[in-house]
A and B are shown apart, each in its own frame.
Chain A
Amino acid sequence: MKTTNLSTASVKKWTAPEQTDALSLDGVSRSFGDRTILNGISLRIRRGELFGLLGPSGSGKTALIKLITGIDAADAGRVVVLGERVPSLPLLGKIGYMAQSDALYGELTAKENLMFFGAMFELRGARLAERISEALSTVGLAQEAGKLVSRFSGGMKRRLSLAIALLHEPELLILDEPTVGIDPALRVSIWTSLLALRERGTTILLTTHVMDEAERCDRIGLLRDGSLTAVGSPADLKADTGAATIEEAFIRLGGDRS
């Protein structure tokens, strides 16, 4: 089967002996009532990898991400992140999470939002101040630090959410649709920062709808109706399906563009 081929190919490619996995999922399932949201997902992401999760809306991307962070618990299977079994509170301190909807406090300024979340990760004093200004300049919000978030535009809120996820320099960055509602110029600058983070060794897992973003990932996984139908590098996926573009590859693999 095509799927198995791709998976084993990618596993072979990425299981270098000195590497430990940043993330490993083993037969993970989750259902709500009689609706199966995730069905026996197995996946390994190595440290330092930039992994993209693609799939139509409703395919279970967000549900999978909640299992990985430990906000939600799997019905079956094992989730191990950075060598620790999920759920684990100390582990949450090593994960940076950006949710699909901007969860910000509108009555607070950008800086106060960062101070609050910084405290959640036990950053304090000079270190906190340094991290806040660094995170703000990464997302290009340094000038808006003192502005109330309720006056922010959608794109600014998205960038602030990203700054919060970066704040405590997490080993694993989980981003749910990070570039939705962000204009093209800013998207380029956010991708520049993501690639820079990867250079520094941060593992990044993101979900996306945008095909050219998928193209920039080290590997991508296609999620469809709660199952991973293909995993591999963009080049591999294209070669295996004989497609010219990622978009075409996904259509051939049975994924919708959505």
Chain B
Amino acid sequence: MRIRALTMRIYRQFMRDRRTLALLFVAPLFILTLVYCIFGGTASAPKIGTVGLPDTTAGALRASSAVVVPYDSAAAARSALDDRKVDAVLAVTDGKPALLLEGSDPSRSRAVLLSVSAMQRTASAALFQPEIAYLHGKPGMSSFDAFGPVMIGFFSFFFVFLLAGVAFLRERTTGTMERLMATPIRRHEIVLGYLGGFGLFAILQSALVACFAIYALGMFMTGSIWLILLVNLLLTLTALTLGTLLSAFAGSEFQIIQFVPIVIVPQAFFSGLFPLDGMAAWLHKLTYLMPLYYGGDALRGIMIRGEGFRGIGIDVAVLLGFSLLFAALNVVALKKQRAI
């Protein structure tokens, strides 16, 4: 009964706090849309200036999706490169080809090299031309599709962590926690009540974020939406329990924000947004401590590789374990507020 009353109270407080509702529900969609705009498109075609290139070769270069700009002299091509009108200059002098790349943006350089190597393949009579197919994903999959699943998890985690932490802390700083502790409520009832109240909004938020990414932004997705929702729910549950637990060690809202660079940012790095293969092995083991790593791994597995429950079972179990651990620690941490 007390748990239900606490859940109900949090629900009411939330519904009357429009700004916080907006932060929880609108902000992730806004950022996700931005990320989609930045990473979702395919890179524009590289511009390659040419000097003295035979017509057939230039044709092959055009066919490899490059914009070809012929110049009369090497000097004219060079000044165009200086002005960054072209990304590279391909010049043939005395029958020897030379490629000069502008080079300040690695992604443009890579695009030029891709075009040039594609041209070489078509120009030379290809003896060894493999047929290309994808086991997972699809040709022309954007980076948005590749790290989008992790982003979905990250937003759910981040916003719920922040809100739950601040709400729980505010209960302490406004004195209502002490007031609550002067009633016969049990410590675990407080934690469960918070789980209920925030859990409700966490479920709605994670469902909204996932559906928006998949159905509105068209994020690549082959798995089951229900599994996505399950993983996202567990991830927000972890964020909720971790946020309320850590708020016991903060004295003000500002100190909750101070947890962000310590708790949230490292998780973003280790969550699979960036490749970690080059990392030292011992450092790599740190990923096992990061809830977001398990969430990101599961979400990616479901969305890109179409994994079923069997494939993500371990991730689900670990996330559930994290939540239970943090909630139990929180019940203990509340002893700071009242001896029993």
Chain A residues in the interface with B (C-beta under 8 A): 69-73, 87-90, 92-93, 95, 97, 99, 101-105, 107-108, 112, 115-117, 119-122, 124, 148, 164
**Contact bitstring B325-340, A, C-beta under 8 A = 1, else 0:** 0000000000001111
B178 interface residue (CB < 8 Å to A): yes
Contact between B12 and A108, CB atoms less than 8 A apart: yes
Instruction: Assess A107 versus B12: contact at CB under 8 Å? Given A71-B178, A88-B340, A101-B175.
Output: yes
The answer to whether B183 touches A120 (Cβ under 8 A) is: yes
Decide: A121 and B183 in contact? CB cutoff 8 A. yes
With known contacts A89-B340, A107-B13, A119–B2 Cβ distance under 8 A: yes
Q: Given the complex, which residues of B lie within 8 Å of A116, measured CB to CB?
A: 5-6, 8-9
**CA–CA, A104 and B175, complex, Å:** 8
Interface contact A99-B184, CB-CB below 8 Å: no
The residue of chain A having its C-beta at the shortest distance from the C-beta of B180 within the complex is: A120
Q: Which residues of A contact B17 (CB under 8 A)?
A: 107
Interface residues of B in 165-214 (CB under 8 A from A): 174-186
Q: Is the CB of B338 within 8 A of A71?
A: yes
Assembled-state Cα–Cα distance A112/B6 (Å): 11
Q: Which of A69, A88, A108, A119 has the most CB of B within 10 A?
A: A119
The answer on a CB contact under 8 Å between A105 and B13 is: yes
- Bound form: Cα–Cα A101–B179 in Å: 10
Complex: how many Å from CA A90 to CA B339? 14
Residues in A whose Cβ lies below 8 Å from that of B9: 105, 108, 112, 116
What A residues does B126 contact at CB under 8 A?
none
Q: Is B279 an interface residue when CB atoms closer than 8 A count as contact?
A: no
Q: Tell me the smallest distance from the CB of B152 to a CB of chain A, in Å.
A: 30
What residues of A have a CB within 8 angstroms of the CB of B183 in the complex? 92-93, 117, 120-121
Q: Which of B5, B177, B182 has the most CB of A within 10 A?
A: B182
Q: Evaluate contact between B338 and A99: CB separation under 8 angstroms.
A: no
Provide the bound-state CA to CA distance between A134 and B185, in Å.
Answer: 23
Q: CB-CB < 8 A to A105: which residues of B? A: 9, 13, 176
State the main secondary structure of chain A at its contact with B. Answer: loop
- The answer for the CA separation of A90 and B186 in the assembled complex, in Å, is 10
For B184, what are the chain A residues with a Cβ–Cβ distance below 8 Å? Answer: 89-90, 92-93, 120-122
- How far apart are the CA atoms of A89 and B190 in the complex, in Å? 14
Whether B340 and A103, one on each chain, are in contact in the complex, defined by CB atoms closer than 8 angstroms, is: no
Q: Does B1 sit at the interface, judged by CB under 8 A?
A: yes
Given the interface contacts A87-B339, A103-B175, does A71 sit within 8 Å of B13 by beta carbon? Answer: no
30 example contacts (A-B, Cβ-Cβ < 8 A) are as follows A70-B340, A71-B181, A71-B182, A87-B338, A87-B340, A88-B340, A89-B184, A89-B340, A92-B182, A97-B179, A97-B182, A99-B179, A101-B175, A102-B175, A103-B174, A103-B175, A103-B177, A103-B180, A105-B9, A107-B13, A108-B9, A108-B12, A108-B13, A108-B16, A112-B12, A115-B5, A116-B6, A120-B184, A120-B185, A148-B16
A31–B77 alpha-carbon span in the complex (Å): 82
Contacts of B175 in A (CB 8 A): 99, 101-103
Minimum CB–CB distance from A197 to chain B (whole Å) comes to 18
- What separation, in Å, do the CA atoms of A130 and B165 have in the docked complex? 36
Residue of B nearest to A150 (CB): B16
Contact B178 A99 (CB under 8 A): yes
In the complex, A88 Cα to B179 Cα: how many Å?
A: 16
B339: A residues at CB distance < 8 A:
70-73, 87
Residue of A nearest to B13 (CB): A107
Chain A residues whose C-beta falls within 8 Å of the C-beta of B177 in the assembled complex: 103
- Residues of chain A within 8 A (CB-CB) of B180 are 103, 120
Q: Scoring B residues 139 to 158 as 1 if CB is less than 8 Å from chain A, else 0, what string do you get?
A: 00000000000000000000
Interface digits, B208-235 against A, CB 8 Å rule (1 contact, 0 not)?
0000000000000000000000000000
Residues of chain B within 8 A (CB-CB) of A95 are 182
- The answer to whether A69 touches B5 (Cβ under 8 A) is no
